[in-house]
Chain A
Amino acid sequence: MRKWILAAVIGLLALAAAGSWGYSQYTANRKLENYLSNKYQRAFYDLASQTQSVEVLLSKSMIASDPRLDSALLMDIRQQAAFAQSNLGQLPLNDALAGRTAKFLSQVGDYADSLARQINQGEAIDTKHWDTLNSLYQQAAALNSELQGMQAGMAQNNFYFGEMVRQVRGKLQKNPDDLATTDFQSMDKQMQRYPALIYDGPYSEHLERTEPRDLSGQGDVDAPEAEQRALAFIDKQDGADYQARVTGTTNGRIPAHRVEVTRVGGPDGAATVLDVSRQGGKVIWMMNSRPVGGQTVSIEEARRKALQFLAGRGFGEMRSTYFQQHGNSVTFNCAALQNGVTLYPDLVKVTVALDSGEVTGTETSGYLMSHRQRPLPEAAVSRERARAAINPRLNVSGGELVLIPVGVSDEKLAYEFHGKLGEDSYLIYINAVTGREENVLKLIETPGGTLTM
């Protein structure tokens, strides 16, 4: 009898404990769900109001006639578009649902930025620009009206983002067809109706399709030839035999054969992998993933090895401009030289293992994309005059001629000066043709190397 009562009491207590635990879990869950839903709503409302700002600003930029006002409006567009994209990125929408919308927001901001820069350099908004602004304005208006419609739906339905929140909780439907996702999908389809936008900015459409200049006009190589090229490229140890094998093709920005090179009798899994371009048969990158032992080679020695390696593989005259150490490996950035001018766009990265000095990696896509014999302009401004254009507060040294990338497809001949202000170091680029200050980079010392920002 007693035992039965005791068991019942314990059972009841356990039930009560489980119940209260369950209830607290339930409320905690509800709280989190609300929290997440609120976060999504905030991001959405911000996205809608920023898109509206973009629309209004675009229409203003089309009628403003003072360049200063225009440039201020364009900078505002850029900022609002960036905010809008950031808020879009906080919503749980994958690329299939919002990719085109995100792209539009990137391009509006990017285009506004590139146009503002042109205006600041004294160019007027011509018909072509006006038409582009007009087209962007139409797109922004369409996007805005979609978002307003969704906002109305949201006001009527508090659980608009409910399904998205539940998705996150793991009760995932394969193809959720709740309100928000359906609406976003149709909005994204709307955005796809507009034509591709081409302009001078990093997110412009045409950059996806740029051709590697170093390979232009060259014929294709087949798999056996790619194997030969790979064998000729790798850093061979004395007296060892190597075997190369094409393992597949890659269909990236530069289509290529993928080649694996192994040392005969070497340890398993220590292959060097290379991508050899189909056109021209050049190595795009090489990676040897062997573990690297303790350091026995100095950075200076490694630098000599890297430059020697490049010289032996037809890269011509190169200069090491920067390095970064990671673990017991060091990666050098090497830029091509033409008549003593450093060509920063034509960059090759070379990784050297500090245990043996072996070159374990290269990355040449920058070089392949932009290298060619260029007609370099004459420096019309003397080094002294260029130097005088620098802020007098800086303690200045250097002044070598370099070619720097400006914007996305432009290159400028410039003097490179080192400047020091107190503890801080900078690189200052003065255009050698116009005498204008093109760029200022800040140098930041880290244990692994010097960063530029």
Chain B
Amino acid sequence: MLALAAGLVSLHERQAAAQNPSLYRGSAGDDVFRVQQRLSQWGYYNGSQDGYYGDGTFQAVINFQQNNGIPADGVVGQATWDALGFSVPSETPAVSRGAATDRGDVTLLARVIEGEAANEPLLGKVAVGAVILNRTKSASFPHSISEVIFQPEAFESIENGQAYRPLSEESVQAAQMAMGGYDPSGGALFFWNPGKSVNPWIWSRNIVTQIGNHVFAR
């Protein structure tokens, strides 16, 4: 849902991260539940995960603390939270899945551009990237970039490994521009090099334009 890209003003100030509360015998609630869940995943606890810090949970915490070199007091304090893998994010922002996904998509797009259009002008490279993005929006094709790219027989350079060459800066730039909405292909779903042998049915498509050595069609 990158479609509605909106502006933001002052989102830079980082709020003080919330602390995990200390838990001890008699505590109850979601935090206790999380601890019970983790302890049972790791084989320390086999009682019921009821969100109540009773004797069973107490014993499991003691065992866990002993095994992890934490003072075995049966209290889930910061050190125990950390050892359980629930540490509060520090100064460096955690890697956001969304951002990571997006960067991956740009690289993937750039790979196909490099594989299919390395010798084409920038305009032709952006157009190839746009075709892939147009496919994700078409009913006749899969709806994610990776599914479109790795569809069997879809792109020669993916099938024969040409796409795994080192990426040129121009291919990355073209991928970014295509992701940014530039579409010199005019909404095309297909492109091919008329100098190479292609399946004849492709010529029955509605031709939009030619850029460099590629014909683009809808």
| In the complex, chain B residues whose CB is within 8 Å of the CB of A94 | 153-154, 199
Contact of B140 with A106 in the complex, beta carbons under 8 Å: yes
Expressed in whole angstroms, the Cα–Cα distance for A250 and B188 within the complex equals 11
Contact of A287 with B186 in the complex, beta carbons under 8 Å: no
* CB 8 Å contact bits of B197-217 with A (1 = contact, 0 = none): 001010000111110000000
Expressed in whole angstroms, the Cα–Cα distance for A96 and B122 within the complex equals 29
| In the complex, chain B residues whose CB is within 8 Å of the CB of A99 | 140
Contact of B15 with A418 in the complex, beta carbons under 8 Å: no
Expressed in whole angstroms, the Cα–Cα distance for A90 and B151 within the complex equals 6
Expressed in whole angstroms, the Cα–Cα distance for A82 and B144 within the complex equals 11
**With contacts A331-B180, A442-B98, A445-B93 known, is A452 near B4, CB below 8 A?**
yes
CB<8 Å pairs between A and B, sample of 5: A168-B159, A252-B209, A321-B7, A395-B15, A452-B5
Q: A251-B206, A251-B208, A446-B102 are in contact. List 5 more A-B contacts (CB 8 A).
A: A289-B121, A344-B4, A427-B8, A445-B96, A452-B5
Residue A425 at the chain B interface, CB threshold 8 Å: yes
| In the complex, chain A residues whose CB is within 8 Å of the CB of B169 | 327
Contact of B11 with A441 in the complex, beta carbons under 8 Å: no
Which of B1, B182, B187, B209 has a CB less than 8 Å from the CB of A441? B1
Contact of A321 with B139 in the complex, beta carbons under 8 Å: no
Residue A144 at the chain B interface, CB threshold 8 Å: no
* CB under 8 Å from chain A, chain B span 139-198: 139-143, 147, 151-154, 159, 169, 173, 176-177, 180-190
Expressed in whole angstroms, the Cα–Cα distance for A453 and B137 within the complex equals 16
Contact of A107 with B208 in the complex, beta carbons under 8 Å: no
Contact of B209 with A251 in the complex, beta carbons under 8 Å: yes
Contact of A441 with B4 in the complex, beta carbons under 8 Å: yes
* CB 8 Å contact bits of A93-109 with B (1 = contact, 0 = none): 11110011011001100
**With contacts A423-B89, A446-B99 known, is A250 near B140, CB below 8 A?**
no
| In the complex, chain B residues whose CB is within 8 Å of the CB of A396 | none
Contact of A326 with B173 in the complex, beta carbons under 8 Å: yes
| In the complex, chain B residues whose CB is within 8 Å of the CB of A320 | 7
Residue A68 at the chain B interface, CB threshold 8 Å: no
Expressed in whole angstroms, the Cα–Cα distance for A24 and B17 within the complex equals 58
Residue B123 at the chain A interface, CB threshold 8 Å: yes
Q: Which of A15-23, A120-128, A361-369 lies at the binding interface?
A: A361-369
Contact of B7 with A453 in the complex, beta carbons under 8 Å: no
Which residue of A254, A331, A398, A439 has the most chain B CB atoms within 10 A of its CB atom?
A331
Contact of A91 with B152 in the complex, beta carbons under 8 Å: yes
| In the complex, chain A residues whose CB is within 8 Å of the CB of B190 | 95
Expressed in whole angstroms, the Cα–Cα distance for A249 and B126 within the complex equals 18
Which of A86, A92, A258, A349 has a CB less than 8 Å from the CB of B181? A349
Which of A85, A256, A289 has a CB less than 8 Å from the CB of B186? A256
* CB 8 Å contact bits of B85-121 with A (1 = contact, 0 = none): 0000100011010110011000000000000000001
* CB 8 Å contact bits of A425-453 with B (1 = contact, 0 = none): 10100000000000101111110001111
* CB 8 Å contact bits of A392-404 with B (1 = contact, 0 = none): 0001001000101
| In the complex, chain A residues whose CB is within 8 Å of the CB of B154 | 94
Contact of B140 with A273 in the complex, beta carbons under 8 Å: no
Expressed in whole angstroms, the Cα–Cα distance for A139 and B209 within the complex equals 35
Give the size range of A's interface with the partner: 35 or more
Q: How far is the CB of B157 from chain A (nearest CB, A)?
A: 15
**With contacts A96-B201, A250-B208, A441-B6 known, is A451 near B140, CB below 8 A?**
no
Expressed in whole angstroms, the Cα–Cα distance for A256 and B184 within the complex equals 11
Which of B138, B140, B152, B187 has a CB less than 8 Å from the CB of A90? B152
Contact of B122 with A102 in the complex, beta carbons under 8 Å: no
Which of B102, B199, B209 has a CB less than 8 Å from the CB of A258? B209
Expressed in whole angstroms, the Cα–Cα distance for A82 and B15 within the complex equals 39
Contact of B186 with A251 in the complex, beta carbons under 8 Å: yes
Expressed in whole angstroms, the Cα–Cα distance for A256 and B186 within the complex equals 9
Which residue of B102, B143, B152, B153 has the most chain A CB atoms within 10 A of its CB atom?
B152
**With contacts A102-B139, A252-B218, A444-B99 known, is A92 near B153, CB below 8 A?**
yes
Residue A184 at the chain B interface, CB threshold 8 Å: no
* CB 8 Å contact bits of A285-298 with B (1 = contact, 0 = none): 10101000000000
Residue A324 at the chain B interface, CB threshold 8 Å: yes
The chain A residue with its CB closest to the CB of B12 is A445
Q: How far is the CB of A269 from chain B (nearest CB, A)?
A: 8
**With contacts A322-B6, A423-B17, A446-B99 known, is A107 near B152, CB below 8 A?**
no
| In the complex, chain B residues whose CB is within 8 Å of the CB of A251 | 186, 206-209
**With contacts A107-B139, A273-B123, A444-B98 known, is A422 near B4, CB below 8 A?**
no
Residue A202 at the chain B interface, CB threshold 8 Å: yes
The chain A residue with its CB closest to the CB of B94 is A423
Contact of A361 with B153 in the complex, beta carbons under 8 Å: no
The chain A residue with its CB closest to the CB of B144 is A86
* CB 8 Å contact bits of A410-425 with B (1 = contact, 0 = none): 0000001010101101
| In the complex, chain B residues whose CB is within 8 Å of the CB of A44 | none
The chain B residue with its CB closest to the CB of A269 is B121
| In the complex, chain B residues whose CB is within 8 Å of the CB of A248 | 209-210
| In the complex, chain B residues whose CB is within 8 Å of the CB of A287 | 122-123, 126, 177, 182, 184
Q: How far is the CB of A197 from chain B (nearest CB, A)?
A: 9
The chain A residue with its CB closest to the CB of B186 is A252
Expressed in whole angstroms, the Cα–Cα distance for A445 and B17 within the complex equals 17
Contact of B2 with A423 in the complex, beta carbons under 8 Å: no
Residue A89 at the chain B interface, CB threshold 8 Å: yes
Contact of A453 with B1 in the complex, beta carbons under 8 Å: yes
Residue A163 at the chain B interface, CB threshold 8 Å: no
